[in-house]
Structure 1
Amino acid sequence: MLNHERKFPSKRGFVIYIPLIILIIVEAGYIAGGRYIGAVLVLVVVSAMFLPVFFNTYYAISNTGTLRVKCGMFFNTKLPIGSIIKVENTRTVLSAPALSTDRIEIFYNKFDSVVISPKNIAEFVAELQKINPDIRYQ
Structure 2
Amino acid sequence: MKTFKSKFGYTLLWFVTILFIGILGFMIYQEEPIEAILTTGVINFLIILFVLYLNLATTYTFTSKHILNVKCGLLFNKNYDIKKFKSIRKSNNLMSSPAPSLKRLELRYGEFGILIISPENQIAFTKELITRNPKIVNEVYLSES
TM-score w.r.t. structure 2 length? 0.76
Change (3 A) 1:68 1:25: same
**Other-structure match for 1:60:** 61
1:15 aligns with 2:16: no
What's the counterpart of residue 90 of structure 2?
89
Deviation sequence 1:76-100 (CA, Å, 0-9, x none) = 1110111111101111112121112
Change (3 A) 1:87 1:43: same
Q: When the two structures are aligned, how many residues end up with a matched partner? A: 133
Question: Aligned to 1:6, which of 2, 5, 20?
Answer: 2
Partner of 2:45: 43
2:98–2:117 Cα contact (<8 Å) kept: yes
CA contact (8 A) 1:53 1:71 kept: yes
SS for the counterpart of 1:20 is helix
Q: Name the CA distance, whole Å, in 2 between partners of 1:61 and 1:24.
A: 39
| Greater helix share, structure number | 2
Superposed CA RMSD:
2.4
Alignment check: 8 A CA contact 1:89 1:104 kept? yes
Secondary structure in 1 matching 2:127: helix
Q: 1:61 to 1:41 in 2, by over 3 A?
A: same
C-alpha distance 30-42 of structure 1, shift in aligned 2 (>3 A): farther
Deviation of residue 47 (structure 1)?
4.6
Higher deviation after alignment, 5-14 or 102-111: 5-14
Instruction: Please say which of residues 105-114 and 32-41 is displaced more in the overlay.
Output: 32-41
Q: Which amino acid aligns with 1:95?
A: S
Q: Distance in 2 between matches of 1:40 and 1:11?
A: 27
TM-fit CA distance, 1:40: 2.9
Deviation at 1:27, TM superposition (A): 5.8
Q: Distance in 1 between matches of 2:118 and 2:100?
A: 7
TM score, norm. by length of structure 1: 0.79
